[in-house]
């Protein structure tokens, strides 16, 4: 072998060595680290992705996750399907941060539809999974539930969360609210005349707190102090948000008008005196017509009751005629001197009633049913997201419908209000028979420390 060839071979081997070193370095740099989820026996496990530094092989191969209550199907009036079931995790230490389950629905003609979901379950938890308003191609007769145990990612709760002490999320003040026919309510309650702002101490602040406290989602603290404090300001902001008023936290003209609309209609009827020299008749408008209607609303002959509009309309004229007929006055449908005197006489006999408050109210076009309540977070962390789920039952404790609402920024040491609304026909007289908070305490990315 001549020298030239020898030199070429030496150079080739040197380059080959350099390539091997570089390739090995690149491989080591990009090579994925062994994990407990790569479906390989590496990193010191005693089995595939179990044992050693990973979860125990018994937990992986025999997951303690099972069905406690088979799926219950509830057909809604809008031809959609509500469904719920319960799973139980019998591990006291480990929760499933993420897993997949499948629902196979079967129809009357053996047609099938599969639904796939991903969810979580905490250690030692019996969890109700609620699936409202499913859009199915048929009315299912049965539902088969399969848990994909190969998809389970086991995790312990975030350090600092002690589930042995119980659920850190406490539901309180939960109630079912049905639409109210406002025409049957006498709205002669409170009158608001002043601009109310932070720091004020005034009887009207007391009345403001009384009416706002009737809606826990607006004023969860419910304290009646007569002092316009930060909690009252926050409640006013929620009230303004609910009714589409510019959010200022102050009770100005627009907010006063809405409060008076909902909770008051001026001075008490027991203190009003009708002018006997003035005739009130069809077509007239004003405060005195409003007070006339308020009194007639108290009289059983006034139909429809509660129509306090301030306009002397045909219904008011008919009510005046009924009033005149009832008390032996010439029936004219107009309020003259004799009718006004009779009204004043009867009003003077009324006993002033203590102020009342109207319960939370909404009309059927807003919703057919609502559930309201509060959740208190006793955990040392705040959480970005979660949900509240309820099952509603009839008087025989038979499940009728379900509802779920998401909520965000569940702050540590704070109470969060929630509302679940139904927008399809549901029976009356329902009660909450199951109520649960679902917040993933296994996901470190769901937790944060509020400042």
The count of structural domains within the chain is 4
Is the CA virtual torsion 415, 416, 422, 423 positive or negative? positive
- Neighbouring-strand partners of residue 435: 390
Do the Cβ atoms of 409 and 386 come closer than 8 Å? Answer: no
Domain that holds residue 233: 182-258
Domain boundary among 348, 382, 412: 348
> How confident is the model at residue 54, as a pLDDT?
82
Domain boundary among 236, 258, 280: 258
Domain boundary among 232, 258, 284: 258
> How confident is the model at residue 346, as a pLDDT?
84
- Average pLDDT of each block of 10 consecutive residues along the chain (451 residues)? 67 73 60 64 76 82 93 87 96 94 95 95 96 91 94 91 86 85 48 86 84 84 89 94 90 84 59 84 80 69 51 85 91 94 83 46 76 91 94 94 92 90 91 95 90 65
Task: Identify the CATH number of the domain in which residue 128 sits.
Answer: 2.60.40.3230
> How confident is the model at residue 226, as a pLDDT?
87
- Is there a single domain that holds both residue 141 and residue 194? no
> How confident is the model at residue 339, as a pLDDT?
93
> How confident is the model at residue 187, as a pLDDT?
42
- Is there a single domain that holds both residue 61 and residue 151? yes
Name the 3-class secondary structure at 318. Answer: helix
Task: Identify the CATH number of the domain in which residue 432 sits.
Answer: 2.60.40
Is the CA virtual torsion 375, 376, 379, 383 positive or negative? positive
> How confident is the model at residue 311, as a pLDDT?
77
- Is there a single domain that holds both residue 338 and residue 403? no
- Is there a single domain that holds both residue 135 and residue 167? no
- Is there a single domain that holds both residue 169 and residue 212? no
Task: Identify the CATH number of the domain in which residue 273 sits.
Answer: 1.10.101.10
Is 275 part of any domain? yes
Is 190 part of any domain? yes
- Is there a single domain that holds both residue 147 and residue 186? no
Distance CA 24, CA 27 (A): 5
Is 382 part of any domain? yes
């Amino acid at each position: 072998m001549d020298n030239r060839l020898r030199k070429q071979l030496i150079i080739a081997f040197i380059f080959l060595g350099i390539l091997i070193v570089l390739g090995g370095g690149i491989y080591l740099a990009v090579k994925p680290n062994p994990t407990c989820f790569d479906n390989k026996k590496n990193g010191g496990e005693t089995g595939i992705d179990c044992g050693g530094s990973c979860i125990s092989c018994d937990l992986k191969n025999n997951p303690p996750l099972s069905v406690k209550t088979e799926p219950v199907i509830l057909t809604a009036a809008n031809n959609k399907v509500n469904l719920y079931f319960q799973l139980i995790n019998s591990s006291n230490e480990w929760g499933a941060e993420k897993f997949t389950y499948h629902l196979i629905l079967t129809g009357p003609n053996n047609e099938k539809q599969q639904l796939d979901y991903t969810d979580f379950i905490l250690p030692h938890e019996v969890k109700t999974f609620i699936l409202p308003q499913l859009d199915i191609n048929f009315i299912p007769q049965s539902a088969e539930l399969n848990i994909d145990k190969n998809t389970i990612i086991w995790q312990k709760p975030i350090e600092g969360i002690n589930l042995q002490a119980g659920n850190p999320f406490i539901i309180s003040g939960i109630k079912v609210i049905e639409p109210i026919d406002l025409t049957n309510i006498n709205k002669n309650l409170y009158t608001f005349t002043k601009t109310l702002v932070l720091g004020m101490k005034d009887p009207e602040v007391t009345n403001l707190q009384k009416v706002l406290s009737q809606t826990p989602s607006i004023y969860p603290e419910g304290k009646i102090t007569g002092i316009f404090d930060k909690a009252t300001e926050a409640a006013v902001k929620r009230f303004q948000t609910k009714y589409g008023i510019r959010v200022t936290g102050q009770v100005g003209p627009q907010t006063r008008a809405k409060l008076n609309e909902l909770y008051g209609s001026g001075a008490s009827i027991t203190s009003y005196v009708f002018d006997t020299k003035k005739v009130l008749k069809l077509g007239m408008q004003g405060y005195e017509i409003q007070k006339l209607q308020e009194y007639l609303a108290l009289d059983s002959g006034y139909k429809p009751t509660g129509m306090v509009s301030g306009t002397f309309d045909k219904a008011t004229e008919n009510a005046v005629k009924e009033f005149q007929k009832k008390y032996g006055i010439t029936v004219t449908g107009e309020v003259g001197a004799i009718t006004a005197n009779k009204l004043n006489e009867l009003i003077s006999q009324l006993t002033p009633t203590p102020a009342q408050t109207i319960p939370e109210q909404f009309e059927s076009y807003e919703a057919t049913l609502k559930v309201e309540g509060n959740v208190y977070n006793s955990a040392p962390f705040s959480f970005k997201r979660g949900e509240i789920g309820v099952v509603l039952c009839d008087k025989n404790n038979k499940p009728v419908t379900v509802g779920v609402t998401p909520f965000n920024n569940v702050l540590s040491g704070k109470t969060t209000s929630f509302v679940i609304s139904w927008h399809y026909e549901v029976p009356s007289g329902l009660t909450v028979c199951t109520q649960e908070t679902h917040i993933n305490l296994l996901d470190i990315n769901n937790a944060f420390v509020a400042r």
